[in-house]
């Protein structure tokens, strides 16, 4: 199964054939919608999100390799990932207490 990853100024969207997960880049919030995006980068899964000093990032699987089969289910090895910024923290306010 594959997904479509699309990025705009305001959103990062991961779409399947039936629905989408939408990350709001302004607030960092997460929502779902029934509509799907048709244009974008093909990815093979979402590993998760990570919060770092300068913001929140989405980790997706860019490449995979089939290495076997277990009880009728394909087993894949992750070959490449991509880390995409979702929400960036303003550097000037990062260390400001005011």
Domain of residue 57: give its range.
3-89
> What's residue 38's pLDDT?
80
Q: Are 59 and 33 in contact (CB under 8 A)?
A: no
Two tokens, residue 74: 């394909």
- Please report whether residue 16 resides in a domain: yes
Q: How large is the average pLDDT for residues 3-29? A: 91
Residues 6+ apart with CB under 8 A from 70: none
- Please report whether residue 64 resides in a domain: yes
- Please report whether residue 96 resides in a domain: no
Token pair 């991509």 is found at 82
- Please report whether residue 81 resides in a domain: yes
Residue 38, Cβ neighbours under 10 Å: how many? 8
Strand order in the sheet with 3-7: 30-33, 20-24, 11-15, 3-7, 41-43
Residue 58, Cβ neighbours under 10 Å: how many? 22
Q: How large is the average pLDDT for residues 15-31? A: 90
Q: How large is the average pLDDT for residues 3-15? A: 93
DSSP annotation of 95:
T
User: pLDDT by residue (tens digit) across 46-95?
Assistant: 999 999 888 899 999 999 999 999 999 999 999 999 999 998 766 444 43
CA atoms within 13 A on the CB side of 72: 0
What is the tally of structural domains in the chain? 1
User: pLDDT by residue (tens digit) across 34-45?
Assistant: 987 788 999 999
- Please report whether residue 83 resides in a domain: yes
The residue with greater pLDDT, 60 or 27, is 60
> What's residue 90's pLDDT?
60
> What's residue 15's pLDDT?
93
């Amino acid at each position: 199964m594959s997904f479509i990853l699309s990025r705009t100024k305001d959103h990062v969207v991961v779409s399947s054939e039936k629905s989408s997960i939408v990350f709001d880049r302004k607030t960092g919030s997460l929502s779902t919608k029934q509509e799907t995006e048709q244009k974008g980068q093909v990815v093979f899964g979402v590993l998760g999100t990570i919060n770092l000093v300068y913001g929140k990032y989405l980790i997706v699987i860019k490449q995979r390799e089939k290495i076997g089969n277990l009880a009728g289910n394909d087993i894949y090895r992750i070959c490449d990932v991509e880390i995409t910024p979702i929400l960036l923290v303003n550097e000037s306010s990062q260390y400001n207490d005011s």
